[in-house]
Chain A
C-alpha cells in the first residue's frame, strides 16, 4: 500500500520561506510517476502547485512559479517543496500526492495534509 506523509513547520512568518517534505512508503520515488504538491486554503478549493519527476524535471503553476522550488531526495525516498516570499494568502493545507498517469493526470494517492499558517 502506497502512503505519503507530509512534514514541516505549521507556522511561518510573512516574507519567510515554507519548507515541506513528503516521505513516500510502499513505492519508490524513482518509479515512473510524477510527485505533486497541491494546496487548499481554509474553506476553499484545491490548487495545483507543481510536480516533479525523480530525474529532476519539474512543472510549476504559472501563478507560483517565481516562488516555488521542488526537489527529490532519492536516498530518503522523499520529495520537498520550498515556497518563498510568503503572505497570508499562502495559508493553506498542503498535500503531497502521486500523479498516476502523466497523460491522463489523476492523483491516486494523497498524504493526509499539513496545515501551514503564515502569521507573525
Chain B
C-alpha cells in the first residue's frame, strides 16, 4: 500500500485530455511538501516530467501540466498521443516516514 494513492489505470482516446490524481495526507502533500511526476516507458528508467508541482524540465511537452491543492496533486495531459502510453508516478516527502515516497503508479492507455 503506497503512501501516495494513484488510480491504477486511466485511458483516453487520441486528442483527448486525461488527468492522473495523486492523493496524500497531512504528513506529505498536505504538509506542504512538493510533488513531482515521472513517466516510465516499458523497460526503461523513470523520466522526470514535472518538478515542484507544476514546472516542466526543458524538452518536456507543454501538453503536460501539474497542479497541487491541499492533500492532492494531479497531472494533466492534453492532446493525448500514442507515445503518451506509459506508467506515471507521483513522488513527494513524508515526514512520518522521514523519507521520499512514491505513488503506486498509474498506467495510461491510449485507446
Give A contacts to B, CB under 8 Å.
36, 45-48, 50-51, 59-62, 95, 100-101, 104-108, 110-113
Contact = CB atoms under 8 A, between A and B. Distances in A.
Given A46-B105, A62-B99, A106 B45 contact: no
Interface size bracket, B side: 20 to 34
Interface string B92-111: 11000111111111000000
B99 A113 contact: no
A106 B52 contact: yes
12 contacts: A45-B89, A45-B102, A46-B91, A50-B99, A61-B97, A62-B97, A101-B52, A105-B91, A107-B48, A108-B48, A110-B46, A111-B45
Contacts, number: 65
A85 B86 CA distance: 34
Given A50-B99, A60-B99, A62-B98, 15 more contacts: A45-B2, A45-B102, A46-B89, A46-B102, A47-B102, A51-B100, A61-B99, A62-B99, A101-B51, A104-B51, A104-B52, A105-B93, A106-B52, A107-B48, A107-B91
Contact of A104 (B34, B103, B105): B34
8 cross-chain pairs, A with B, having the tightest CB-CB distances, nearest first: A106-B36, A110-B45, A106-B51, A46-B102, A48-B100, A45-B105, A104-B34, A45-B104
